[in-house]
């Protein structure tokens, strides 16, 4: 997981910084929705590749 998370800052640090700055301006409910969406996408990916 850390390898995947490290790809964007490695290849495009300016874009990563801009995305991170935008993320700090999101509301708590928006961040929760993004977190829930990413967890569900991860679970769906595991399910697809595990079966």
Q: For the segment 40-49, what is each residue's pLDDT rounded down to a tens digit?
A: 999 999 999 9
Q: Compute the chain's Rg from CA coordinates.
A: 14
The model's pTM: 0.71
- Please identify every stretch of the chain with a pLDDT value under 50, giving residue numbers as ranges: none
Q: Which two tokens stand for residue 17?
A: 């910084």
DSSP for 2-29, please give it.
HHHHHHHHHH-HHHHHHHHHHHHTS-HH
Tell me the C-alpha to C-alpha distance, in Å, between residue 28 and each of 10, 20, 24: 27, 15, 10
């Amino acid at each position: 997981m850390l390898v995947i998370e490290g790809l964007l800052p490695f290849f495009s640090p300016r874009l990563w910084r801009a995305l991170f700055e935008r993320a700090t301006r999101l509301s708590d409910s928006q961040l929760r929705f993004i977190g829930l969406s990413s967890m569900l996408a991860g679970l769906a990916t595991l399910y697809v590749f595990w079966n």
